[in-house]
Amino acid sequence: MVIIARVANMLNLSANVNEATLARFSDSDQISGYAKNAVALAVSLGIVNGNSNGTLAPKAELSRAEFAVLIERLLGLAGLID
């Protein structure tokens, strides 16, 4: 997520980010301290939506398909793809 957030910043994508952004996810306490702002930005921008069970699963590995969706959402927000 940190890399996604850095690219979002490079593309001048921004959103209001605060602690409440992550509060709706039951496992938000498992997000590493260094990544909290990055994850909150990705959630605020709509790049990350979490799982259907109300979690983010920050310690889980992403599949290639899940990562492709993140990249597609990021590039779409930046207006680089339709």
**Phi-psi bin for 72: left (phi > 0), alpha (psi -120 to 50), beta?**
alpha
Mean pLDDT of the chain: 95
31: tokens are: 């997000």
Task: Give dist(CA 68, CA 36) in Å, integer.
Answer: 22
What pLDDT score does 48 carry?
Answer: 96
Question: If 0-12 CB within 10 Å is exposed, 13-18 middle and 19+ buried, where does residue 49 land?
Answer: exposed
Task: Give dist(CA 30, CA 72) in Å, integer.
Answer: 26
Q: What is the pTM of this model?
A: 0.91
At 7-52, the pLDDT tens digits run 999 999 999 998 789 999 999 999 999 999 999 999 999 999 999 9
Locate the domains of the chain by residue range.
Answer: 2-77
